[in-house]
Amino acid sequence: MGTTAFQKIYTKIDQITKATCSLRATGVGNEEMATVNNRLAQVVKIQGDLVTLQIFSGTEGIPTNAEVVFLGHAPQLMVGEELCGRFFNAYGQAIDGGPEVDGQLVEIGGPSVNPVRRKQPSELIATGIAGIDLNNTLVTGQKIPFFADPDQPYNEVMAMVALRAKADKIILGGMGITNDDYLFFKNTFENAGAIDRIISFVNTTEDAPVERLLVPDMALTTAEYFAAKHQDVLVLLTDMTLYADALSIVSNRMDQIPSKDSMPGSLYSDLAKLYEKAVQFPDGGSITIIAVTTLSGGDITHAIPDNTGYITEGQLFLRKDTDIGKVIIDPFRSLSRLKQLVIGKKTREDHPQVMNTAIRLYADAANAKTKIENGFDLTDYDKRTIDFAKEYSEKLLAIDINIEIDTMIDTGWFLFNKYFSDAETGIKSELIEKYGKRKSN
Amino acid sequence: MSTKGKVVGIISNLVTVAVDGPVMQNEICYINMSDVKLMAEIIRIGENNAYIQVFESTRGLKIGTKVEFTGHMLEATLGPGILSKNFDGLQHDLDKMEGVFLKKGDYTPALEDDKLWEFTPLAKVGDEVLPGSWLGEVKENWIQHKIMVPFSFSGTFIVKEVSAKGEYKINDTIAVITSENGDERKVSMVQKWPVKIPIKAYKEKPRPFNFMETGIRVIDSLNPIVEGGTGFIPGPFGTGKTVLQHSLSKQAEADMIIVAACGERANEVVEIFAEFPEIDDPRTGRKLMERTTIIANTSNMPVAAREASVYTAMTIAEYYRSMGLKILLLADSTSRWAQALREMSNRMEELPGPDAFPMDLPAIISNFYARAGYVSLNNGVSGSVTFIGTVSPAGGNLKEPVTEATKKAARCFYALSQNRADRKRYPAIDAVDSYSKYIEYPEFIKYMKENISTDWVDNILLAKNILIRGHEAYEQINILGDDGVPIEYHQIFWKSEIIDFVILQQDAFDKVDASTPIERQRYMMNKVLGVYKMQFEFDSFEEVNPYYKRIINVFKQMNYSEFHSDKFKKFEDELQILIKERAVVEELINKTY
Ligand SMILES: Nc1ncnc2c1ncn2[C@@H]1O[C@H](COP(=O)(O)OP(=O)(O)OP(=O)(O)O)[C@@H](O)[C@H]1O
Ligand SMILES: [Mg+2]
């Protein structure tokens, strides 16, 4: 990032805080990039000729006579086919020892798609995991996070989903992930022989937290480049909670009034701008976003998961089921809002009712368990629901399942027939006639 | 000479401008960047500076950039051509914009200047007219779009000329009217109105009382809304606010539907774009899109325009109301608009109220809801704007400022419950917590008695009572155990479950179940209450659950069947047999059926 001939160099900084510095300068554009003693920075405020810069890697050791150079453009990324198979940091600089990328320079965080130009998502993404395909079916162009406590295997599940989804490109945006996680992704993708269709932007725990703020835009700008070439792109963002934490660090250092859970008041808009990049383009090409939002103690009312839930098209909730000793996709708190675009349409017509009925019966089992906890006797029905719930969990909810969607639906019918009467399931009679009498498994 | 200014400060989309002349609060201005003009609104004035919120990203904006002030506030353009359009929050036509991505400063006109409309005069030369009086009409889709004396005129006028029947463009003069002091004013088919100011060209605004059918059972049969009424739908994420609003927009009995997508997902608006042009509207025999206008400011569109979007939508609603039409305005979600206000207020370093929202948030919300209503126009015709907004409470907690402020302003409360949504009991409206204040209005009770059924409101009270008692019985069973309570408790609980499964729950994605006409609702409610009033015999509590499950199942099959079809009748007969199995008093059966 060398200086070009006409760039003016400033060497007098008036004020330095933990994250920002301010100096007198003119002709500067809002959100323009700059370097301060070679550290990358961005204009966040201009008051007359006083310009405030946010220095991504922090202001430690920045002297008042540091060299400040304005670069004349907003944050940019070099995009092109050469990105494939490569690993970059939050600034889009290679970290895998490979050569510099050639291509075209584009601004990151570009404009939004005109809503009337979007196409309604309609292509199912099959993952083989019944907790997803049967209960929370994913669709291209969707945006959906995993909600998981930090000890859940969310990165593993996400990598598995990514590899099974038939995406043309997979783009990983890693924010505050550990070096071990970074290596996990690298190895998993390499072992799957998929590395040529994967591009990664990674900010690890060793990097400055504020740098993370660039990662999603880098990943999504890359996604837009490939989606414009009619490719189906899957973007993985992990961990968005750490991204939001970085937002709160910045707003706090800039003395903004915090709202709930010391998050900035603009958290909803900040997150929505990223997630809304998920899109199905009218003439082919799509961007699907699967993210991770880690929770603390399963609390989804915290501002980060709460705002995320209001933005994304559902969420996949990971929970350890103590009955079967496995991690499952919790059918109660998980949801895919786009599922109705495909279930019963791209899948068998009995899919929606089988899905809903199974979940309702699973809920009855939860009630029965409460009865046990309260020391009451169980009715015959209660006992059957409990047995059903265990088998349902084992055969369908566990994340280690890998079967076809029709098999999932048939398994549902098998379990209904095994434990319940038709009246107890309450399914439309035509569907029972047509599909329910078949015995599978 | 209009006022000019220069940019002197930039923090995100709050820009400070030094001005050289008079400016007014909420005045619109344009920032002249080298390649584009950015639209902005004055939100505070101090010393020689105007503080403006820019309706676009300010990336690349520099100090010293010139600003032009327009002398007017944010205005809606009102005239034929609004129906079926997709606008952004500032009423720019989204379909006219080029390219897949939105471009900064691409401000497309709301209406078409060169389109010809078939005009028929309604007023005659010599007529006395007021602002809002109908001078003529054009046919817009299926609506008789009235051409009115502009709302911005004041006083009474005499019609001097009216154009003859024929084809005209919106800017053509279609009438000349003379004021009391002899000034002549030309009137065209298009007028402008500042969106933040209510249109009050009507004679009076009585309490609303005309029932508005929605086809949603938990609303019509338990918490009915009226034409010109207000309601709100709070609920944690994923509990069904948007699905409910979409159902309302498809089914509600209104002449025109305005959907303001305010800071929510783009894919949800796409669903309307994709489906509405295909779905038939039984009322008009045309496509749903023909009675719909969409204002889309989705969450990735400029935040400052979110606030404007709901006002733009309301102004369009009031305009069509002045034509004597029934308008349903839906906004999803009003919380996003409140958040936009919060972002701006924080940037201006105003003293924050609860949860950092601006202090005057409750006043802003109640003023907005007050613009809805049922009105009698000066010519005696009535029109209405019914407004239903969603609220997205932070953390799902209803004790937060936006929900609390809205609760004071809206008359119907449709609370979505997380618990019901988790158990897939859709729509997840908690029928006991929710309410409609209208059922307390004597004029509404009278209306229902005369037009729908004599016992509609009584049945609402009864059904709610059954639900409350069912809930209490359920709690007792949970505390004392299945066999620790009399069998009667199980029956009370299961009778409330019948109402829950048969009346409250409704599958928005099932062709038949999605919409229930009022006649069918009446029929089903009577049927369910008939079963409620019966006595059934059981030897042990273990028999109660399976029996009622069978009853519920048959009822559900009825809900899935075409009303009065053979299939429906078959299930009805099945129900009859099922009831005879255990009913105690034979005459009761014969009486109800
Ligand atoms: N009446 C219904 N029938 C069947 N399913 C429903 C119904 N209402 C809601 N759902 C289910 O719940 C999901 C979420 O509903 P919806 O998108 O309306 O929630 P929301 O309250 O608007 O959430 P958010 O606040 O995040 O926008 C839907 O995608 C659908 O699967
Ligand atoms: Mg919604």
Residues B261, B313 within the same domain: yes
SS (H, E, C) B39-73: EEEEEEEECCEEEEEECCCCCCCECCCEEEEEEEE
Residues B441, B461 within the same domain: no
**B101/A contact by beta carbon, under 8 A:** yes
Give the closest of B336, B481, B509 to A376, CB-based.
B481
**A374/B contact by beta carbon, under 8 A:** yes
Q: Residue with structure tokens 């504020």?
A: A210
* A369 backbone φψ class: left, alpha, beta (φ>0; ψ -120 to 50): alpha
| B313-358 pLDDT, tens digit each | 999 999 999 999 999 999 999 999 999 999 888 888 888 899 889 9
Q: Flag whether B102 is in a domain.
A: no
Does residue A2 carry a pLDDT above 60?
Answer: no
Residues B242, B380 within the same domain: yes
Q: Could you give the CA distance from residue B455 to residue A202 in angstroms, rounded to a whole number?
A: 66
Residues B265, B401 within the same domain: yes
Query: B-chain residues within 8 Å CB-CB of A352?
Result: 509
Q: How far, CA to CA in Å, does B23 sit from each of A391, B14, B28, B46, B299?
A: 71, 17, 10, 11, 31
Residues B61, B139 within the same domain: no
Distance B508 CA to ligand 1 centre (A): 10
CB atoms within 10 A of CB B48: 13
Q: How confident is the model at residue B536 (pLDDT cuts 50, 70, 90)?
A: very high
- Domains defined along chain A, listed by start: 9-70 (2.40.30.20), 81-107+140-312 (3.40.50.12240), 351-436 (no CATH)
Nearest-CA distance from A354 to chain B in Å? 13
Q: Flag whether B112 is in a domain.
A: no
| B453-507 pLDDT, tens digit each | 999 999 999 999 999 999 999 999 988 988 899 999 999 999 999 999 999 999 9
Per-residue tokens: A203: 């900010």
Identify which of B390, B261, B251, B416 has the alpha carbon closest to the alpha carbon of residue B334.
B390
Does this model's pTM top 0.90? My answer is yes
Does residue B253 carry a pLDDT above 50?
Answer: yes
Q: How confident is the model at residue B522 (pLDDT cuts 50, 70, 90)?
A: very high
Q: Flag whether B80 is in a domain.
A: no
A 101-140 residues inside an 8 A Cβ radius of B: 110-121
Distance A338 CA to ligand 1 centre (A): 10
Q: How far, CA to CA in Å, does B423 sit from each of A366, A384, B63, B85, B420?
A: 11, 18, 56, 38, 5
* Ligand 1 atom at minimum distance from B428 CA: 8
Does residue B547 carry a pLDDT above 80?
Answer: yes
C-beta separation of B54 from B42 below 8 A: no
| A125-167 pLDDT, tens digit each | 999 999 999 999 999 999 999 999 999 999 999 999 999 998 9
Residues B373, B427 within the same domain: yes
Lowest model confidence (mean pLDDT) among A219-233, A243-257, B74-88: A243-257
Q: To which H or E segment does residue A307 belong? A: helix A303-311
Residues B159, B285 within the same domain: no
For A343-347, which contacts have Cβ atoms below 8 Å and span 24 or more sequence positions?
A: A343/A137, A346/A122, A346/A123, A346/A124, A347/A124, A347/A137, A347/A405, A347/A406, A347/A409
Domain range for residue B160? 117-191
pLDDT, position A251: 85
A 147-176 residues inside an 8 A Cβ radius of B: none
- Backbone phi, psi, residue B120, to 5°: -125, 125
Residues B516, B423 within the same domain: no
Per-residue tokens: B42: 């004055």
Residues B275, B169 within the same domain: no
Q: Could you give the CA distance from residue B255 to residue B293 in angstroms, rounded to a whole number?
A: 12
Number of domain units in chain B: 4
Q: How confident is the model at residue B1 (pLDDT cuts 50, 70, 90)?
A: low
What mean pLDDT is predicted for residues B282-293?
Answer: 88
Give the closest of A112, A309, A424 to B301, CB-based.
A112
Q: Do B549 and A333 touch (CB under 8 A)?
A: no
Q: What percent of chain B has pLDDT over 90?
A: 88
Q: Flag whether B364 is in a domain.
A: yes
Q: Flag whether B518 is in a domain.
A: yes
**B103/A contact by beta carbon, under 8 A:** yes
pLDDT, position A168: 96
Per-residue tokens: A87: 């690993």
* Ligand 1 atom at minimum distance from B507 CA: 3
| B34-81 pLDDT, tens digit each | 889 999 999 999 988 999 999 999 999 999 999 999 999 999 999 999
Does residue A441 carry a pLDDT above 50?
Answer: no
Q: Do B63 and A279 touch (CB under 8 A)?
A: no
Residues B323, B294 within the same domain: yes
Residues B283, B399 within the same domain: yes
Q: Flag whether B227 is in a domain.
A: yes
Domain boundary among B73, B104, B128: B73
Q: Could you give the CA distance from residue A187 to residue B3 in angstroms, rounded to a whole number?
A: 63
Q: Could you give the CA distance from residue A210 to residue A243 in angstroms, rounded to a whole number?
A: 8
Mean pLDDT of chain B: 94
Query: Letter for the amino acid at A378?
Result: L
Q: Do B394 and A260 touch (CB under 8 A)?
A: yes
Q: Do B60 and A30 touch (CB under 8 A)?
A: yes
Residues B234, B288 within the same domain: yes
DSSP, residue by residue, B537-566 = --SSGGGHHHHHHHHHHHHHHHHHSPTTSH
| A156-195 pLDDT, tens digit each | 999 999 999 989 999 999 999 999 999 999 999 999 988 9
Q: How confident is the model at residue B591 (pLDDT cuts 50, 70, 90)?
A: low
Find the residue in A nearest to B356 (Cα).
A259
Give me the total of CB pairs closer than 8 Å, taking one residue from chain A and one from chain B.
199
Q: Do A257 and B273 touch (CB under 8 A)?
A: no
pLDDT, position A423: 85
Interface test with B, best of A23, A28, A32, A46 (most B CBs within 10 A): A46
Q: Flag whether B580 is in a domain.
A: yes
| CATH number reported for the structural domain that contains residue B365 in this entry | 3.40.50.300
Identify which of B339, B14, B233 has the alpha carbon closest to the alpha carbon of residue A303.
B339
Per-residue tokens: A123: 């292509």
Q: To which H or E segment does residue A261 belong? A: none
Query: Letter for the amino acid at A271?
Result: L
Q: Could you give the CA distance from residue B207 to residue B230 in angstroms, rounded to a whole number?
A: 11
Domain boundary among B398, B416, B446: B446
Interface test with B, best of A24, A250, A269, A419 (most B CBs within 10 A): A269
| B170-229 pLDDT, tens digit each | 999 999 999 999 999 999 999 999 999 999 999 999 999 999 999 999 999 999 999 999
Identify which of B240, B64, B102 has the alpha carbon closest to the alpha carbon of residue A340.
B240
Q: Could you give the CA distance from residue A251 to residue B12 in angstroms, rounded to a whole number?
A: 12
Q: Do B60 and A117 touch (CB under 8 A)?
A: no
C-beta separation of B256 from B443 below 8 A: no
Q: What percent of chain B has pLDDT over 70?
A: 98
Q: Flag whether B82 is in a domain.
A: no
| CATH number reported for the structural domain that contains residue B486 in this entry | 1.10.1140.10
Which class for B298: exposed (0-12), middle (13-18), buried (19 or more C-beta within 10 A)? buried
B 160-219 residues inside an 8 A Cβ radius of A: none
| CATH number reported for the structural domain that contains residue B58 in this entry | 2.40.10.170
Domain boundary among B446, B465, B490: B446
